[in-house]
Amino acid sequence: MKTSYHADKKGYYGDFGGAYIPEMLYPNVEELRQNYLEISADPVFKKEFDQLLKDYVGRPTPLYYASRLSEKYNTKIYLKREDLCHTGAHKINNTIGQILLAKRLGKNRVIAETGAGQHGVATATVCALMGIECIVYMGELDIRRQAPNVARMKMLGAEVRPAQSGSKTLKDATNEAIRDWINNPVDTHYIIGSVVGPHPYPDMVARFQSIISEECKTQLQEVEGRDYPDHVIACVGGGSNAAGIYYHYLDDPRVNIIAVEAAGKGIDSGESAATSVLGKEGIIHGSKTLLMQTPDGQITEPYSISAGLDYPGVGPMHAHLYRSQRAEFVSIPDQEAMDWGLTLSQMEGIIPAIETAHAFALLDERKFEPNDVLLFNCSGRGDKDLETYIDYFKL
């Protein structure tokens, strides 16, 4: 049998994935599992999805050849410009797909979790677009740290509910959203923002994000005369932008996959989010994956200067890419990522999200050949991070 790095029928990527959920969630998750493939393959659904991606999100996003960077690093560097999507990041590809799915399933209420607020904004946006009630759970600490995104969600008509349990951050917001879903099993759809959670979420979100690599294939063919890069590079928190740009290259051995995690203040500092290195196999939010935890199995709080990368787990696809050594995993500390925020701004005129900046920092870590084609996912823009940039660089 041919090896595949995609999910199998039960939602496993090698040892990882599955659906480790309380029985109370079983009907909700089962309804999704039974329907997501059929609905998303339906030509009418696809047409509506593609149309919205084109007219509303602004797809296809450009594939941009970064000439100054390429010259400096003596290799060929392409940026997939997901930062140009409506709402500023790739997140909306998934929320468009899931809101259409929710409508098909007859749901009239949507819930979501958010850390930095990007997924919350993307969810609030599509709910406004469809006229569906939207409730976003956000850690109490994050609400204080990310005021502009909270305001955006409110303007879009969403209710932002503070998660006050545990560490009051992303993992607790996710717990609260799951509890809401347990309490509202019939009328509510839960839009998870990354390739995490119980099956079918990791596979479903990866499929909705796979438009990224689908476009890359056509675009690379035009400029390079071949539809694949030598290296595809993305930052990984939960891993949705990475899943999207890896998707059509996962089973292509010609393509080297590189995942960049947040080292925070350093792998050994106790303040890091490098889940592949620091995590152990376990269960978080209904998925078996690598996660950061105490020896006693209590889930710990990760740290990164970028709010989008500080998730204590990682999508099961990525856990499998790590364990099977299909992908190379690299971790980048705060300082290098922040410096790359400036570098990309000043060399290419693109202010990246801090998450995205982590991926580019790879260029200082590793040497590439002049003829290598490097495909970076420029996953988000830096507007949301201005305050952090201002504080850090005393701008």
Partner 1 sequence: MNRIQSTLTKEHKLLSIYFTAGFPELDDTVSVLKQLQDTGVDMIELGLPFSDPLADGPTIQESSTQALKNGMTTDTLFDQLKDVRKHIHVPLIIMGYFNPIMQYGVERFCKRCQETGIDGLIIPDLPVDVYHEQYQSLFQDYGLLNMFLITPQTPDERIRFIDKVSEGFIYMVSSAATTGAQSSFGNVQEDYFKRIESMQLNAKLLVGFGISNAETYQAATAHSKGAIIGSAFIKHLKTHGSDSVAEFVTQIR
Measured CA to CA, the distance from residue 270 to residue 37 in angstroms comes to: 41
374 binds partner 1 (CB under 8 A): no
DSSP-derived letter for residue 302 is P
One residue of 267, 283, 342, 347 binding partner 1 per CB under 8 A: 283
187 binds partner 1 (CB under 8 A): no
Give the total of residues touching partner 1 (CB under 8 A).
35
Measured CA to CA, the distance from residue 223 to residue 215 in angstroms comes to: 13
Near partner 1 in 288-317, by CB under 8 A: 293, 295-300
113 in catalytic set:
yes
- Which CB, 130 or 182, lies closer to partner 1? 182
One residue of 21, 53, 77, 262 binding partner 1 per CB under 8 A: 21
Continuous segment of H or E residues that includes residue 159: strand 159-163
One residue of 77, 100, 178, 375 binding partner 1 per CB under 8 A: 178
Quickly count: other Cβ atoms within 10 Å of residue 72's Cβ.
Answer: 13
Q: Least distance (Å) from partner 1 to the CB of residue 250? A: 26
One residue of 58, 60, 62, 166 binding partner 1 per CB under 8 A: 166
Catalytic residue among 82, 113, 336, 355: 113
* 152-160, 278-286, 361-369, 371-379 -> range binding partner 1 (CB under 8 A): 278-286
72 binds partner 1 (CB under 8 A): no
92 binds partner 1 (CB under 8 A): no
| Cβ atoms 175, 163 nearer than 8 A | yes
27 binds partner 1 (CB under 8 A): yes
* 69-77, 124-132, 184-192, 377-385 -> range binding partner 1 (CB under 8 A): 184-192
One residue of 1, 43, 106, 183 binding partner 1 per CB under 8 A: 183
Measured CA to CA, the distance from residue 40 to residue 336 in angstroms comes to: 40
| Cβ atoms 91, 120 nearer than 8 A | no
| Cβ atoms 310, 115 nearer than 8 A | yes
240 in catalytic set:
no
Measured CA to CA, the distance from residue 319 to residue 5 in angstroms comes to: 11
Measured CA to CA, the distance from residue 129 to residue 121 in angstroms comes to: 12
- What own/partner pairs with CB < 8 Å and gap ≥ 24 does 60-69 have? 60/215, 60/218, 60/219, 61/85, 61/212, 61/215, 62/219, 63/215, 63/216, 63/219, 63/220, 63/223, 64/378, 65/223, 66/347, 66/348, 68/347, 68/348, 69/344, 69/347, 69/348, 69/363
371 binds partner 1 (CB under 8 A): no
149 binds partner 1 (CB under 8 A): no
Q: What tokens appear for 301 in the block?
A: 């709080």
379 in catalytic set:
yes
282 binds partner 1 (CB under 8 A): yes
One residue of 11, 13, 17, 18 binding partner 1 per CB under 8 A: 18
| Cβ atoms 193, 237 nearer than 8 A | no
One residue of 4, 6, 8, 22 binding partner 1 per CB under 8 A: 22
165 binds partner 1 (CB under 8 A): yes
Quickly count: other Cβ atoms within 10 Å of residue 222's Cβ.
Answer: 9
- Which CB, 35 or 184, lies closer to partner 1? 184
One residue of 2, 9, 23, 55 binding partner 1 per CB under 8 A: 23
- Please state the separation of Cα 6 from the chain's center in Å: 16
| Cβ atoms 376, 77 nearer than 8 A | yes
285 binds partner 1 (CB under 8 A): yes
* 127-135, 141-149, 165-173, 367-375 -> range binding partner 1 (CB under 8 A): 165-173
| Cβ atoms 309, 355 nearer than 8 A | yes
Measured CA to CA, the distance from residue 353 to residue 337 in angstroms comes to: 10
Catalytic residue among 91, 168, 171, 384: 91
* 99-107, 242-250, 282-290, 371-379 -> range binding partner 1 (CB under 8 A): 282-290
Interface residues with partner 1 (CB under 8 A)? Answer: 18-24, 26-27, 165-166, 171-172, 175, 178-179, 182-186, 280-286, 293, 295-300
Which active-site residues does the annotation give? Answer: 91, 113, 379
